Structure 1
Amino acid sequence: MINYVFKRILSVIPVLLIVAVVVFSITYLTPGDPARVILGADATETEVIELQEKMGLNDSPIEQFTRWFGNLLQGDLGDSYFMNKSVMAAFADHFMPTLSLALMAQLIAILIALPLGIFAAVRRGSVLDQTVMGISLIGISVPSFLLALILVLIFSVNLGLLPVAGYQPLTAGLDMHLRYLLMPAVALGAMQAALITRMTRSAMLEVFNNNYIKTAHSKGVKEKKVLFKHALRNAALPILTVIGQTFGVLITGAAVVETVFNIPGIGQLIINSVERRDFPVIQGVVLLISITYVLLNLIIDLLYGVLDPRIRLDKK
């Protein structure tokens, strides 16, 4: 296990290096001048050139990347052009709303998807199975922003049960925190629930065809024991994989839902930074999100060995 963990950590290094190069290249090639945005339309050309020189924007791409990457190796992601704070501080201020939203959306998706996927597999070909698959197809097809608007119309405008938009931190109280996150979490987690449902059904059906399941049934093992101890455990790997991937998508793809519900999360931070050409924030936030996604995949790989003893992680 130790050798496997060490190899996986080493494999992360070139991935992050490639991500750093790509992120810097994209921001460098993005049209727009931060100096002109900062000074405004009334600034003279001389003032713009002076600010460009002060910010190092006139340096060559190699010089800019070397300076940025050198600071990155020291744990310094730079400072925002507009927010008068470091990139790490800006990321920390906006990370908790996104994390709370992603966790709640993932919890909703799992609570809905796992039972539906299992029951659909057990009742394969039945009306329940066809209904679940139809609903999951709709869930995959409907964009999160459209579902968000529908939820706002029904539960906020017509029924008045939930707030239209906004965000309340956990310090304002758990009830208030959940009230503001419920609709965004449902809108964000619906598509993920549909994906997990379909994967759970497919994985369970594949396991049902194995001989050890048939042997357990022939020995008179109780249906619940066969279902949860034998079938679900052996089907857990692909289900775990899609859950981990969807959680990464929830963190990185919450920008649209955060915009609809005016949640001050990472998505809003990235959108505002792109509009203002705040390159240090764009580069730093995308890199931190990439690191988070890589770490999630590493955790999933390690959990494989816990769930399935047949996987020999120490084998060279």
Structure 2
Amino acid sequence: MIKYILQRIGFALLTLVIIMFVVYVLTAQFSINPFAEKANGSSAGSEANKNKEFLEKLFDSSVKYHFLPESWNGQYNTYKDIWIDYKLDPFTRFWYWFSDIFKNKENPFGLPYDGGILSTFDVKSISELVFKYLKISIIVTIPAFFISAFIGIILGIFAGYKRGTIFDAIINLFSLFFIALPSFIIAPIMISILLNFKVTPSFINPYGSDANVYSNYDIFISWLPPILIIVLGSLSAYITFTRNQVITVLTSNYVLIAKSKGLGTIEIFLKYVLRNISIPLAALLIPSYIGLLTGGIVIETYWNIPGVSRVITAAFPKGEINIIMFNTVFFTFLGILTTIVVDVSYTVLDPRIKYASKSGFSYFQMFLTSIKRNNEFKLLINKKEN
């Protein structure tokens, strides 16, 4: 078991590095050097700013943020005629950035290109910036996750037991309806309906400067619309998945044998259905929360929620690769971690599951054996010819 977990952790780290590499290279390939743009005058303001001191500062920033080779550091006079048009390859930039994770203890993921971002939000690092918004996203996603998972599983179980009935048809129609309708269509409809009940169409930030103006009831009511939209959007997935799992178990041979032995419905549900659907449900529920946490861009935009999705969408147009990479690493790590937790939880949910020992088959050993066999075959042919 321990050996298996260590292997999974090793593969998880390898997966994380590969994803980091791919995301960084693709983002770096299509991003521009904002400091070179300022030097060209597109955002520097006036020509008066284009003096040697100003350009040298932009040059040093380009080296600091890995737009130029590290060997150019402090050599503005040498490269002053070529640095603006120079584009460092993304592979080298990734190596510089990846090395900083281990070298830069204070800010391992770097800083935003625009230094005003941190001062505006009164934070000192990218991680602090993301986590400041993340707690707002959690306010909406955690209640939505538990509500949708609970209701979805209950309705899915009933639909599985009542398959082929009008109840099953209504639940299936409900699921298909909200699967087909995207959230950007449901959201304005929900806003129009709730306005008739005098519910504010904007999310009230409990940590905002104007939070004291509103009562706790007003704040709570403002949270309900986005939570409800997320619940409706994710509910259908839980219903459909649970229903299919219940039907699979109920039509299995061991349940039919249990019925023939006279076991009651509740006893069959507790002994067979619940145990057998809990394993695939665990594989769905735990990772699905990560999807809810990162997939609320439309919801956060409609209700003006200062969540983590807004940080990600704001970082891409500006080419803030350090913010993008921190979000990539953080959420990828969470996703991989939940996958490992799900695999380990299988043995807790069903002790009959055992992880197999490592196979003795090795492609490398097969390759060496093939080379050895070919060499021996050649020697045998040479002996016959001689």
Q: Same fold, TM exceeding 0.5? A: yes
Larger radius of gyration: 2
Deviations 1:268-303 (A, max 9, x none): 001111232222111111221111111121211121
The two structures have a TM-score, normalised by structure 2, of 0.74
Correspondence for 1:198: 240
Question: Aligned to 1:69, which of 98, 120, 134?
Answer: 98
- 8 Å CA contact 1:258–1:268 kept in 2: the answer is yes
Which stretch has the larger CA shift, 124-133 or 99-108?
Answer: 99-108
The verdict on how the C-alpha distance between 1:192 and 1:40 changes in structure 2, with shifts beyond 3 A counting, is same
Correspondence for 1:58: 68
Which stretch has the larger CA shift, 111-120 or 170-179?
Answer: 170-179
The two structures have a TM-score, normalised by structure 1, of 0.90
1:175 Cα deviation after fit:
5.4
Correspondence for 2:332: 290
Which stretch has the larger CA shift, 20-29 or 240-249?
Answer: 240-249
Alpha-carbon distance in structure 2 between the residues aligned to 1:31 and 1:52: 17
2:110 maps to amino acid: G
The verdict on how the C-alpha distance between 1:153 and 1:122 changes in structure 2, with shifts beyond 3 A counting, is same
Alpha-carbon distance in structure 2 between the residues aligned to 1:52 and 1:137: 56
- 8 Å CA contact 1:167–1:264 kept in 2: the answer is no
Which stretch has the larger CA shift, 305-314 or 107-116?
Answer: 305-314
Alpha-carbon distance in structure 1 between the residues aligned to 2:270 and 2:32: 56
Equivalent residues in 2 for 1:29-44, closer than 5 Å: 29-35=29-35, 36=37, 40=43, 42=45
Correspondence for 1:100: 139
Correspondence for 1:159: 197
1:266 Cα deviation after fit:
1.0
1:225 Cα deviation after fit:
2.4
1:168 Cα deviation after fit:
2.9
Which stretch has the larger CA shift, 35-44 or 293-302?
Answer: 35-44
Alpha-carbon distance in structure 1 between the residues aligned to 2:222 and 2:356: 46
The verdict on how the C-alpha distance between 1:278 and 1:170 changes in structure 2, with shifts beyond 3 A counting, is closer
SS of 1:116 mapped into structure 2: helix
1:216 Cα deviation after fit:
2.4
The answer for unaligned runs of 5 or more in structure 2 is 70-87, 119-123, 359-386
The verdict on how the C-alpha distance between 1:313 and 1:178 changes in structure 2, with shifts beyond 3 A counting, is farther
- 8 Å CA contact 1:37–1:277 kept in 2: the answer is no
Deviations 1:141-189 (A, max 9, x none): 111222222211111x1111x3311243489797566433322122123
The verdict on how the C-alpha distance between 1:7 and 1:198 changes in structure 2, with shifts beyond 3 A counting, is same
The verdict on how the C-alpha distance between 1:23 and 1:49 changes in structure 2, with shifts beyond 3 A counting, is farther
1:120 Cα deviation after fit:
0.6
1:23 Cα deviation after fit:
1.6
Correspondence for 2:367: none
1:242 Cα deviation after fit:
2.0
Which stretch has the larger CA shift, 199-208 or 107-116?
Answer: 107-116
| Percentage of pairs with the same residue | 26
Correspondence for 2:25: 25
Q: Is 2:255 the counterpart of 1:226?
A: no
The verdict on how the C-alpha distance between 1:52 and 1:301 changes in structure 2, with shifts beyond 3 A counting, is farther
- 8 Å CA contact 1:101–1:181 kept in 2: the answer is yes
1:96 maps to amino acid: K
1:90 maps to amino acid: L
Alpha-carbon distance in structure 2 between the residues aligned to 1:141 and 1:290: 28
The verdict on how the C-alpha distance between 1:170 and 1:209 changes in structure 2, with shifts beyond 3 A counting, is farther
Alpha-carbon distance in structure 2 between the residues aligned to 1:37 and 1:163: 42
